[in-house]
């Protein structure tokens, strides 16, 4: 069995901007930050997949990717998940003006299944927010503001280790 998901890896400049925002977050709350090397946009979490299914998933991702041309994604504002009153995760919204990201996400889920949420980049998992109102006030208008071009979708292996998850791109599907 292979624990995996379908996603888009983000470039180093986006990681650097997100990491700067993470530093501000970490000084305000107790949290587990996502390591910059693990930053990505998740399209569908597949969970534990039998190794015999991997080639089929790769072929289906290739077929989905072939239907799309490269496009630009903007990493936007901070969002509190599931809500401002109960913050468990802090993310950055991700999207594009033509809704391409959402269309691809839906096509990926239709083709390979999995658990999927609106596109986002996770900054941290929250352990404790002592002053929720102040935290929300301080960060509700914070944003990354970075844009990057998406050229491919990735099937990514997620190995859980004591030190945290290790992500490895198993397959890349190029957009047409």
Q: Residue 64: what pLDDT?
A: 97
Say how far apart CA 11 and CA 52 lie, in whole Å: 31
- Backbone φ and ψ of 16, nearest 5°: -65, -45
Say how far apart CA 62 and CA 54 lie, in whole Å: 12
Mean pLDDT over 128-156 rounds to: 92
**Digit-coded pLDDT (tens) for 86-131:** 999 999 999 998 999 999 999 999 999 999 888 899 999 999 998 9
Q: Domains plus CATH for the chain? A: 2-174 (3.90.1140.10)
SS3 162: coil
> Which residues, listed in sequence order, are joined to residue 82 by a DSSP beta bridge?
87
Q: Residue 161 pLDDT > 90, yes or no? A: no
Mean pLDDT over 74-90 rounds to: 93
Q: Residue 163: what pLDDT?
A: 80
Sign of CA dihedral 51, 56, 59, 61: negative
> Which residues, listed in sequence order, are joined to residue 150 by a DSSP beta bridge?
71
Say how far apart CA 34 and CA 18 lie, in whole Å: 10
Residue 5 — pLDDT band, cuts 50, 70, 90? very high
Q: Residue 145 pLDDT > 90, yes or no? A: no
Q: Map tokens 């503001």 to a residue.
A: 145
Strand ranges (DSSP E) for 38-136?
40-49, 71-82, 87-95, 120-128
Looking at residue 21, the DSSP 8-state letter turns out to be H
Is residue 154 within 8 Å of residue 3, measured between CB atoms?
no
Q: Residue 165: what pLDDT?
A: 86
What is the share, in percent, of the chain residues with pLDDT greater than 90? 84
| Run of H or E including 33 | strand 30-33
Say how far apart CA 141 and CA 156 lie, in whole Å: 31
* Strands 120-128 and 164-174, bridge-based pairing: unpaired
**Digit-coded pLDDT (tens) for 44-71:** 999 999 999 999 999 999 999 999 999 9
To the nearest whole number, what is the mean pLDDT of the chain?
Answer: 93
Q: Residue 144 pLDDT > 90, yes or no? A: no
Say how far apart CA 70 and CA 65 lie, in whole Å: 9
């Amino acid at each position: 069995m292979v624990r995996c998901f379908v996603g888009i890896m983000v470039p180093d400049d986006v990681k650097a901007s997100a990491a700067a925002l993470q530093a501000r977050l970490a000084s305000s709350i107790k949290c587990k930050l996502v390591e910059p090397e693990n930053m990505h946009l998740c399209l569908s979490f597949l969970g534990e997949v039998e190794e015999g299914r991997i080639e089929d998933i790769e072929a289906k991702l290739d077929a989905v990717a072939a239907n799309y041309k490269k496009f630009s994604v903007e990493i936007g504002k901070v969002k509190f998940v599931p809500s401002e009153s109960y913050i468990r995760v802090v993310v950055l919204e991700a999207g594009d003006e033509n809704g391409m990201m959402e269309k691809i996400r839906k096509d990926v889920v239709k083709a390979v299944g999995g658990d999927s949420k609106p596109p986002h980049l996770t900054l941290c998992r929250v352990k404790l927010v002592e002053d929720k109102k102040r935290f929300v006030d301080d960060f509700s208008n914070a944003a990354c503001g970075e844009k990057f071009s998406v050229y491919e979708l990735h099937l990514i292996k997620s190995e859980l280790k004591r030190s945290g998850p290790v992500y490895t791109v198993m397959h890349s599907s190029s957009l047409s």
